[in-house]
Structure 1
Amino acid sequence: MNILLKASFGMLSSSIHITGSKSESNRLLLLQALYPQIIVKNVSDSDDSSVMTKALESDDSVIDIHHAGTAMRFLTAYFAVTPGREVVLTGSARMKERPIGILVDALRSLGAKIEYVENEGYPPLRITGAEINSDKVTLKANISSQYITALLLVAAKLKNGLEITLDGEITSLPYLQMTLNLLNQVGISATLENNVITVGPVQQVKPITLTVESDWSSASYFYSLVALAQKGTEVSLSSYVQKSLQGDSALAEVYKKLGVETTFNRNTITLKNIGEVKKQLDLNLVNTPDIAQTIAVTCFGLGVGCHLTGLHTLKIKETDRLEALKTELTKLGAVVTVTNNSLTLEPSTHINSEVAINTYNDHRMAMAFAPLALKTSVIINDAGVVSKSYPSFWDDMQQVGIAVKTL
């Protein structure tokens, strides 16, 4: 499905409810599978969380997780520590190009039985569940936090718990802290001290109900819309708390530099365009790589230059997000350079109209470019890809005043 986006009547002030965080939901869904005493509310309605739920409930010998990278990593660890279970874990063509060797090597070093079905270092995987007795593993600290989180989520179920030593400077620390916090909330001892994470063994937890906070990554597109709208425009989003587990809550500070003020009131945030925009934005997004696309597009729409670093993990996402951003922004008239871990955008006041943005099977490409409709008409190819994390996205865009026409 390709769509044309236009600003139909200027942006409306409105209230939007955003579904539960995909990151929190997928962590809690896996913990719930290990510890049925856990009840989870406000689970994300994303494709990724749906895939996760179906996989955990399935008795099939082949489990296809499609494009869901989080599910691939978390489920690799889950099935590896489930004695008596043998599965082939597979996914889309792109998933078969996304490396998983770091996690497989770590699990094998602990005693897990995992084989590569096609190419060494990549899915699909044949996993034979086994009881794991080893309790120590060392990993490079700058790898994707999902590899480490996958181990953390199953760690307490191991006979002796698990000690993970992280070598070097940690990447995406907020995501690890989110995992540790959730483990603590359900009654599992998990600590990070001097680059060593220690998780104690727990076979059963006390009954507990946890409500997933709404997704900050999804909020980023509304920050972008408000930044690109007229001064005084407001949008309210729920359900959010000021002390969030999600690293992407850094949006509030980042977008202050792009003219958006954030006000917290109970479980709602209100975003307001106050019109004070920096001329140049220099950010290290090593802890928040998922908001890089949104920020780059916002800066382009505002005519602001930016230099974004700490983006090395974007090379192995649904697509190579840095190259994809460069290609699509250039079509719109931007001057962009990228390296293996950075993106630099030159300030520019011209935006080409009715450019067709390719989305590369990447939900964040579709959503990041949508707010530009406030500046010029934009075509989004394969717009249905947003269902991966935010199925109601186009409905919500219409609610705030973006006309959405199917082509």
Structure 2
Amino acid sequence: MDVLLKVLNDKIIKEEIIISGSKSESNRLLILQNLFPEVTIENLSDSDDSVHMQHALSTNNETVDIGHAGTAMRFLTSYFAVKEGREVVLTGSERMQNRPIEILVNALKDLGAEITYEDKIGYPPIRIKGRKITTSRVAINGNVSSQYISSLLLIAAKLKSGLEIELIGKITSVPYINMTLSLLNQLGIETSFQENSIKVLPKKSIEKQTVVVESDWSSASYFYSIIALAKIGSEIKLSAYKKDSLQGDSCLAEIYQHFGVETVFGDNFINLKKVKDTQKEVLEINLQNAPDIAQTIAVTCFAESIACNLTGLHTLKIKETDRLEALKEELTKLGATISVTNESLHLEVSSEIKENVAIKTYNDHRMAMAFAPLAFRTSIKILNAEVVSKSFQSFWKDMQQVGIQTQEIK
């Protein structure tokens, strides 16, 4: 499905939106729930990724296909490695079969897991024979995807002696590691994170409890972008959010002050208000702890005709697509002057925004959603718009609610 986006009435926005639970929290909790059945989850994400995760955890099939769900691939690799007596082939889409898994597989094999590659060394599909793991120490580079580290942490309490992970070198995406540890702590599992060492103590069972998933801050980013481009006085109320969030992307509240957006925290919600014009100074920001919002910020800067230098983005090279190259390609089509490196993006001030440009999404949900708010500046086409279901089922309906007209095109 391809869609044409337009904003017909440039009016002050006053809307309320309910956003599904965080995909990041939901997928961690789904693994933990299967290891500790005493857990009940509320406000679970309705994303494709979480649906794939639930199916993978409930199926008895030997082949488990998780499609484009990168989080599921990483978390399930460790989960199946400790499922004694279970043998599975874990696979995914063509893109997933070209996303590296070797660092995690090597760490698990160091612990005693039995994992082999079905095709290309270092990449899915992988064959996993679940077994009892007794080794309790492992080392892994700290600058890799935090999902590798979280994958190990999620199974740690079920290992006979728990687990100690030594992180080698600089550590990136710390908020996502802390999210995993905080969820373990909520379940009564003892952990520590000091310097480059993380420890998780063993836990056979936990108290019965219900965990309510906070709504997804990555999903909130698109509404921050909309308010940044909207008229002063516009506001959108988003549920359900909290001030002391576990999610690294909650830094949006601070970042979008640059665009004149004020965040007011209420009881289980946030209110985004456009209170002044965007600052015209260059936006310089390191996003190593929140790389998933880079696309949204880059598009907002382009729409507001300001320059930005975004760094700390090396993990974007191995996402659903190479997000840095994809951003460069699509923003250039719109008239941007942009350059990227392996870990950064540099956007110059733009004098024009071209109309009716067709944006390729590269099977990447965040490409579709990051560019949608640009409809407040120009008519724009989004190709393969249905890709948003990976993380945000109601996205296009919510876009219509805030004033973006969506028309399917042939």
**TM-score range, shorter-chain basis?**
over 0.9
**1:184 maps to 2:188:** no
CA distance in 2, matches of 1:276, 1:366: 26
Secondary structure in structure 2 of the residue aligned to 1:218 = helix
Name the aligned partner's letter for residue 158 of structure 2: K
Query: CA-to-partner distance for each residue in 1:319-357, whole Å, 9 max, x for gaps?
Result: 000000000000000000000000000011310000000
CA distance in 1, matches of 2:89, 2:142: 28
Query: CA-to-partner distance for each residue in 1:185-223, whole Å, 9 max, x for gaps?
Result: 001111101210000111111101000000000000000
**1:406 maps to 2:387:** no
Farther-moved stretch of structure 1 (314-323 vs 261-270): 261-270
CA distance in 2, matches of 1:203, 1:219: 37
1:313 matched residue in structure 2: 315
- Decide whether the 8 Å contact of 2:232 with 2:277 is kept in 1: no
CA distance in 2, matches of 1:185, 1:112: 28
Query: CA-to-partner distance for each residue in 1:9-54, whole Å, 9 max, x for gaps?
Result: 2253100000000000000000000000000000000000000001
Matches within 5 A, 1:127-138: 127-138=128-139
CA distance in 2, matches of 1:278, 1:141: 35
Name the aligned partner's letter for residue 243 of structure 2: Q
CA distance in 2, matches of 1:137, 1:83: 20
- Of 336, 340, 345 in structure 2, the residue corresponding to residue 338 of structure 1 is 340
Name the aligned partner's letter for residue 126 of structure 2: L
Name the aligned partner's letter for residue 228 of structure 2: A
Name the aligned partner's letter for residue 316 of structure 2: L
| Offset, 1:107 | 0.1
| Offset, 1:259 | 1.1
1:96 matched residue in structure 2: 97
Matches within 5 A, 1:1-400: 1-11=1-11, 12-279=13-280, 280-400=282-402
Q: What residue ranges of structure 1 are gaps of 5+ in the alignment? A: none
| Offset, 1:278 | 2.1
| Offset, 1:276 | 3.4
Name the aligned partner's letter for residue 223 of structure 1: Y
Q: Give the TM-score normalised by the residue count of structure 1.
A: 0.99
CA distance in 1, matches of 2:204, 2:28: 17
Query: CA-to-partner distance for each residue in 1:143-171, whole Å, 9 max, x for gaps?
Result: 10000000000001111100000011210
Name the aligned partner's letter for residue 105 of structure 2: V
Q: Give the TM-score normalised by the residue count of structure 2.
A: 0.99
Query: CA-to-partner distance for each residue in 1:100-159, whole Å, 9 max, x for gaps?
Result: 000000000000000000000000000000000000001111010000000000001111
Name the aligned partner's letter for residue 51 of structure 2: S
Secondary structure in structure 1 of the residue aligned to 2:17 = strand
CA distance in 1, matches of 2:299, 2:166: 37
Secondary structure in structure 1 of the residue aligned to 2:10 = coil
Q: What residue ranges of structure 2 are gaps of 5+ in the alignment? A: none
Secondary structure in structure 1 of the residue aligned to 2:309 = strand
Question: Matched residue pairs, number?
Answer: 407
Name the aligned partner's letter for residue 357 of structure 2: V
CA distance in 1, matches of 2:178, 2:368: 29
Name the aligned partner's letter for residue 404 of structure 1: T
Query: CA-to-partner distance for each residue in 1:73-104, whole Å, 9 max, x for gaps?
Result: 00000000110000000000000000000000
| Offset, 1:258 | 1.2
Name the aligned partner's letter for residue 2 of structure 2: N
| Offset, 1:275 | 2.1
Farther-moved stretch of structure 1 (267-276 vs 178-187): 267-276
CA distance in 2, matches of 1:349, 1:28: 46
CA distance in 2, matches of 1:341, 1:98: 17
| Offset, 1:231 | 1.2
CA distance in 1, matches of 2:266, 2:14: 17
Secondary structure in structure 2 of the residue aligned to 1:51 = helix
Secondary structure in structure 1 of the residue aligned to 2:369 = helix
Name the aligned partner's letter for residue 55 of structure 1: A
Name the aligned partner's letter for residue 244 of structure 1: S
CA distance in 1, matches of 2:236, 2:4: 23
Identity across matched positions, percent:
61
Q: CA separation of 1:230/1:349 partners in 2, compared to 1, >3 Å: closer, same or farther?
A: farther
CA distance in 1, matches of 2:362, 2:126: 24
Name the aligned partner's letter for residue 6 of structure 2: K
- Decide whether the 8 Å contact of 2:112 with 2:133 is kept in 1: yes
Secondary structure in structure 1 of the residue aligned to 2:285 = strand
- Decide whether the 8 Å contact of 2:63 with 2:88 is kept in 1: yes
Name the aligned partner's letter for residue 53 of structure 1: Q
Query: CA-to-partner distance for each residue in 1:274-307, whole Å, 9 max, x for gaps?
Result: 1232221000000000000000000000001000
CA distance in 1, matches of 2:189, 2:267: 29
Moved over 4 A (4+): none
| Offset, 1:394 | 0.1
